[in-house]
Amino acid sequence: MRVTLRDVADDVGVSVATVSRVLTGKSSGRVRPEVAADIRQAAARMGYRSNALARGLRLQETRILGFISDVIATGARGGQILLGAQDAARRYGYTLLTVNTGDDPDVEAHHLDALASYRVDGYLYASMFNRPLALPSRLETLPTVIVDATSPTQSTPSVSPDEKAIGRLGARELLRAGARRILYVSTPAPIVARAARLDGFFAEIRGTTADVEVRVLEIAESISHARGPLVEALKSDVDGVFCFNDLRAAMVYQASTAAERVIGHDLAVISVDRTEMLQQVLYPNLSSIALPHYQMGYWGCTKLITSLLGNSLDLDDPSLTDLPACALSHALLAPGEPVDGASCILTK
Amino acid sequence: MRVTLRDVADDVGVSVATVSRVLTGKSSGRVRPEVAADIRQAAARMGYRSNALARGLRLQETRILGFISDVIATGARGGQILLGAQDAARRYGYTLLTVNTGDDPDVEAHHLDALASYRVDGYLYASMFNRPLALPSRLETLPTVIVDATSPTQSTPSVSPDEKAIGRLGARELLRAGARRILYVSTPAPIVARAARLDGFFAEIRGTTADVEVRVLEIAESISHARGPLVEALKSDVDGVFCFNDLRAAMVYQASTAAERVIGHDLAVISVDRTEMLQQVLYPNLSSIALPHYQMGYWGCTKLITSLLGNSLDLDDPSLTDLPACALSHALLAPGEPVDGASCILTK
DNA sequence: CTGAAAGCGCTTACAG
DNA sequence: CTGAAAGCGCTTACAG
């Protein structure tokens, strides 16, 4: 039913070998140009589409990559990683077999079986947030790149956001906006980003000559618990707030009303995540440092493919070397001005 | 390098035919039980994993399904469709080849080529929001199910939310909470959901004996434009608000502060979408009707697979017949009480 | 109960 | 410049 090499060969009156040579671009100097043209034309006319299974079987190379994520493709951020990876894959003629484990080892095992069955050439292992992430042992010996996480043993290449740079950047923006008594709204969760952003933040503060006071407040993700402490903290003479993420920034917005502090006037606020929905909803617009999810996906996939092909990354390609931790922003702090970039951490 | 049927056969001392029979479950009464046991054991010991490419080539059936979406897998809601589809696929031994078109015809064409190359058995075509959606012509003759959209020509099976039921449900909840002067905050976008939810809403209102007044206000998605009209509207004697979606609900929350109306006290609010992030951020917790994304994905994928297998849907399976347009909810209107369900619209 | 053989659709070394 | 042939790893009708 589907048209095959054989069909095209019969139509033109040549052998399948010749058709194959022409259609895989191995014909220059090896097939008469007129014949090649005929073949290409017939293939197009007949709607020939090479069978990737047969090709994969023969070549022991499928050009399929397994994209494994915990619960990532579910959230908006994870979607961006997937998109970036997909764009990179497309560019090199690869396709992604996506799979979600829901952080369930049984589900993961099932999916790893499936991916192995389809003989994917390599794996992208994506995490829903930056953390040390041990690869399932079955993947340890296979071509794999970790995205938005790091290998605890450094044995696998990975891309993750430069959390310290994010902290630095946030501090810089608040200082630039004139803030001197800063509230740093953090998370109680012991994740990589908590410590690293705080480090970067203080590193930047120490580097300034201004007299700055910082208070760190950790709040949970539930507004009902966070509200009280936040209102309390905002009632003091705070003039700048660094928010660990947009969720907390949204809480700060709510609390600021109760504390009768006007954001953009009494208070400068900077946050991290650039959540689209909150961008549309918060007033005045939230200044937020974007995490480079798309870029990490793109970089991770390119890294994987080039290593599969035995090449190294093309460092002249700006999409590979220019990995900002943030791009444009509604700049509440200095309206109209975009917030600067900070880079990713690439291993190997 | 990879272990094959041949390897297992040699190890046990039988032919590949016999091994194949045992491993595909076609051995009962056709292979001696002891031999079968030996084979299974050897296969497990050697870590044999059947080659899906060879199988697909031989059987002309790959058990791969193409999951095509516009920009859907990028958002949180789209992720849920994908998850549901993935769970259904896994249950039947299928795997998903996911592809994002970004609403770009060239990208779509490229991906359709790729999916055709891999000889996927069928297609799931998912939309980022409920709309009439014409299938690319190449898919028209292939097994396809549309998810979160409807075929304008009714020629392709589809699942989409029962928007009217959502409108009805919202009205019912507001009435139950005692609201009598209702503000219906809609969207100016001419999409299916706008008209259908409004229809359902008014149908429900007309069915009540209470004396209810409704005012419809359409606002765009930008807080800076919406704020003025919303504050204005809320300053009147409104006692209930139906929000077209959570984004608008968040705007209503903001505006209510400026209008000095207290949500949960002066105002009952019901919304649609159940956006997780906003659930965590809005105070008091937002009552929001969830859209059945996971269920639509699950249903669509099951529908596709059963039609591929020549079966019809198993209507005794509750996960297929019980498709609520909403599930649990923080019920601001009547704290603690979950909001009822409303079903999906399934075609064919 | 079991095996030899054909064939799914490709690619490429080999021969001419 | 071109073709016949082998082989990737399976499954299954056919023969025994």
pLDDT in tens, B86-114: 999 999 999 999 999 988 999 999 999 99
Indicate if B15 and B102 belong to the same structural domain.
no
Residue A225 scores a pLDDT above 50: yes
Q: Tell me the two tokens of residue A181.
A: 């008594």
Per-residue confidence (pLDDT) for residue A329, from 0 to 100:
26
Domain span at residue A225 reads 163-290+327-342
Collect all residues of chain A within an 8 Å Cβ-Cβ radius of residue B49.
113, 116-117
Convert the pLDDT of each residue in B56-70 to its tens digit.
999 999 999 999 998
Which residue type does A123 have?
A: Y
H helices present in chain B, as ranges? 5-12, 16-23, 33-46, 52-59, 76-91, 105-117, 163-176, 192-206, 223-234, 246-258, 276-281, 293-308, 318-321
Least-confidence region, from B3-7, B242-246, B310-314: B310-314
For chain B, what's the residue count?
A: 348
Question: What is the dihedral angle through the alpha carbons of A320, A324, A329, A332, rounded to the nearest 10 degrees?
Answer: -170
Convert the pLDDT of each residue in A48-88 to its tens digit.
999 999 999 999 999 999 999 987 666 677 788 999 999 99
Residue B284: asked if its preceding bond is cis (omega within 30°), the reply is yes
**Which of B255, B267, B299, B282 has the alpha carbon at shortest distance from A254?**
B282
Per-residue confidence (pLDDT) for residue B332, from 0 to 100:
33
Distance between B203 CA and the closest CA of chain A, angstroms: 30
Number of structural domains, chain B?
A: 3
Distance between B262 CA and the closest CA of chain A, angstroms: 12
Residue A301 scores a pLDDT above 50: yes
Convert the pLDDT of each residue in B15-59 to its tens digit.
999 999 999 988 777 888 889 999 999 999 999 999 999 999 999
Mean pLDDT of A180-204: 95
Are B125 and B108 in contact by the 8 Å Cβ rule? The answer is no
Per-residue confidence (pLDDT) for residue A74, from 0 to 100:
62
Cβ A53–B62 below 8 Å, yes or no?
yes
* Angstrom distance (rounded) from CA B318 to CA B325: 15
Per-residue confidence (pLDDT) for residue A67, from 0 to 100:
95
- Closest Cβ–Cβ partner in A76, A118, A223 for B95: A118
Indicate if A333 and A217 belong to the same structural domain.
yes
Indicate if A257 and A312 belong to the same structural domain.
no
Convert the pLDDT of each residue in B286-326 to its tens digit.
888 888 888 889 989 999 999 998 866 665 566 665 555 43
Per-residue confidence (pLDDT) for residue B340, from 0 to 100:
41
Domain assignment of residue B218, yes or no: yes
User: What's the CATH number where A212 sits?
Assistant: 3.40.50.2300
Collect all residues of chain B within an 8 Å Cβ-Cβ radius of residue A110.
90
Q: Tell me the two tokens of residue A85.
A: 């990876």
Residue B228 scores a pLDDT above 80: yes
Higher pLDDT, A279 or A212: A212
Higher pLDDT, A15 or B330: A15
Are B85 and B300 in contact by the 8 Å Cβ rule? The answer is yes
Q: How many CA atoms lie within 13 A of B161 on its CB side?
A: 33
> B31 CB near a chain A CB, below 8 Å?
no
Mean pLDDT of B243-271: 91
User: What's the CATH number where A29 sits?
Assistant: 1.10.260
Residue B222 scores a pLDDT above 90: no
What is the full DSSP assignment across B261-314?
A: --BTTTBEEEEES--HHHHHHSSSPPEEEPP-HHHHHHHHHHHHHHHHTT----
Distance between A3 CA and the closest CA of chain B, angstroms: 11
B257: burial class by Cβ within 10 Å (0-12, 13-18, 19+)? Answer: middle
Measured CA angle at B169 (ends B152, B77), to 5 deg: 55
Least CA distance to A258: which residue of chain B?
Answer: B257
Domain assignment of residue B242, yes or no: yes
Domain assignment of residue A104, yes or no: yes
Indicate if B125 and B196 belong to the same structural domain.
no
Per-residue confidence (pLDDT) for residue A331, from 0 to 100:
25
- Closest Cβ–Cβ partner in A49, A113, A221 for B113: A49
> A76 CB near a chain B CB, below 8 Å?
yes
The rounded mean pLDDT for chain B is 86
Q: What is the share, in percent, of chain A residues with pLDDT greater than 90? A: 55
Q: What is the share, in percent, of chain B residues with pLDDT greater than 90? A: 56
Using 50, 70 and 90 to split pLDDT, how confident is the model at B73?
low
Residue B278 scores a pLDDT above 90: no
Higher pLDDT, B180 or A331: B180
Cβ A90–B79 below 8 Å, yes or no?
no
Per-residue confidence (pLDDT) for residue B314, from 0 to 100:
64
Domain assignment of residue B348, yes or no: no
Domain assignment of residue B138, yes or no: yes
Q: What is the phi/psi pair of residue B266, to 5°?
A: -80, -25
Are B19 and B43 in contact by the 8 Å Cβ rule? The answer is yes
Indicate if A234 and A269 belong to the same structural domain.
yes
Pairing of strands A268-272, A287-289: parallel
Using 50, 70 and 90 to split pLDDT, how confident is the model at A340?
very low
Domain assignment of residue A56, yes or no: no
Using 50, 70 and 90 to split pLDDT, how confident is the model at A236?
very high
Residue B75 scores a pLDDT above 80: no
- Give the position of tokens 């939309």: B127
Per-residue confidence (pLDDT) for residue A10, from 0 to 100:
92
Per-residue confidence (pLDDT) for residue B53, from 0 to 100:
95
Collect all residues of chain A within an 8 Å Cβ-Cβ radius of residue B298.
none
* Angstrom distance (rounded) from CA B273 to CA B340: 14
Residue A345 scores a pLDDT above 60: no
Instruction: Among B33, B50, B67, give the residue marking a domain's end.
Output: B50
Indicate if A127 and A170 belong to the same structural domain.
no
Mean pLDDT of A109-118: 94
Indicate if B192 and B224 belong to the same structural domain.
yes
Mean pLDDT of A212-229: 92
Least-confidence region, from A22-31, A129-138, B247-256: A22-31
Per-residue confidence (pLDDT) for residue B319, from 0 to 100:
63
Are A305 and A312 in contact by the 8 Å Cβ rule? The answer is no
Indicate if B221 and B283 belong to the same structural domain.
yes
Per-residue confidence (pLDDT) for residue A294, from 0 to 100:
86
Residue A222 scores a pLDDT above 90: no
Convert the pLDDT of each residue in A118-177 to its tens digit.
999 999 999 988 899 999 999 999 999 999 988 888 788 888 888 888 999 899 989 988
* Angstrom distance (rounded) from CA B101 to CA B146: 15
Indicate if A16 and A116 belong to the same structural domain.
no
> CA of A33 and C1' of C6: distance in angstroms?
36
Domain assignment of residue B137, yes or no: yes
Least CA distance to B277: which residue of chain A?
Answer: A247
> CA of A15 and C1' of D4: distance in angstroms?
9
Mean pLDDT of A335-343: 37
Higher pLDDT, A322 or B29: B29
Indicate if A121 and A243 belong to the same structural domain.
no
Domain assignment of residue A55, yes or no: no
> A51 CB near a chain B CB, below 8 Å?
yes
Least-confidence region, from A152-166, A210-224, A269-283, A312-326: A312-326
Indicate if B119 and B263 belong to the same structural domain.
no
Indicate if A10 and A28 belong to the same structural domain.
yes
